[in-house]
Amino acid sequence: MGIINKKTKMNSKQKLNITIVHEDPFNHFESEKFLYTLNKKIKNIYNLQKGTNSNLLLEFANEEYAIYKPEIGERPLYDFPLGCLYKREYASYIFSLLLGWPNIPPTFIVNIDPYGHGSIQKIIFNKGLNYFDLLKIKTNDFFKFAIFDFLINNADRKGGHCILDEENKLWSIDHGVTFHEIFKVRTVMFDVWEKIISGKIIKEITKLKLKFINDKNIQTLFKELLSNSEIKAITERLDLILETKKLPPINQNDNIPWPLI
């Protein structure tokens, strides 16, 4: 996401068959618009090397873009199972909808022949700013980002994973290495991490927990995406936040991503 970096145009693959496997179960307006885009003709496809994984940038006929992260493009990681990062991208999106924040671009799980299953996410056009540029004007928003990162156990919150769109709306992107059962938060947000959480936010997290543990459809969906131990760990992190009303301490030597942007 962010500023589009086009590499290796692939004009010969314009007739891809996109099958939606999991979309937004809450039918938000932005998700409906994204579904409309996915039904449009694909004008161009670009092969991207994004981080350690291979991805495709899809350009649609309505001048919209999406990034497709296929399972087969995932490189092995020492601390996450192979072939699960696209599911975690989608799980993070659903979790943000349950919580009400932060803003994550519409993200679905799709099957695209011949590449297979993967996540697909709407591209948000970025002003080119990152966390370090935006910190002074978006501190309160970033505190919510930090809370969200703890709840999903985000192991890769780089500065470039916070973007501002052309309407000055803040977005959170890149959530593939999340939801591990062991605490693995890596973040650049040390400035906002250890603040006390307000009563208003605690109420929102309480509502989230009730939805998460009581809604059978949500439980069924997350069981398709994560392991039982990872789902149990989500509840434990929710309980810790609600009990202490603050984020736990983190260590700048152990809990920092690389590169920072």
- Which regions of the chain carry the CATH code 1.10.1070.11? 131-244
Distance CA 210, CA 99 (A): 11
Overall average pLDDT of the 35-54 stretch: 84
SS3 helix, strand, coil % of the chain, rounded to 5?
Answer: 35, 20, 45
Helices (H), the chain: 29-38, 85-99, 131-134, 139-152, 199-214, 216-225, 228-244
Whether 8 shows a pLDDT value over 80: the answer reads no
Report the CATH fold assignment for 131-244. 1.10.1070
| Residue pLDDT, tens place only, 134-171 | 987 777 789 999 999 999 999 999 999 999 999 999 99
Q: Which of 28-37, 101-110, 187-196, 211-220 has the lowest mean pLDDT?
A: 187-196
Report pLDDT for 232: 97
Higher-scoring residue by pLDDT: 254, 227: 227
Contact 72, 86 (CB under 8 A): no
Encoding tokens for residue 169?
């709306």
Contact 123, 35 (CB under 8 A): no
Q: What is the pTM of this model?
A: 0.92
| Residue pLDDT, tens place only, 60-69 | 998 999 999 9
How would you classify the pairing of strands 53-60 and 162-164?
Answer: unpaired
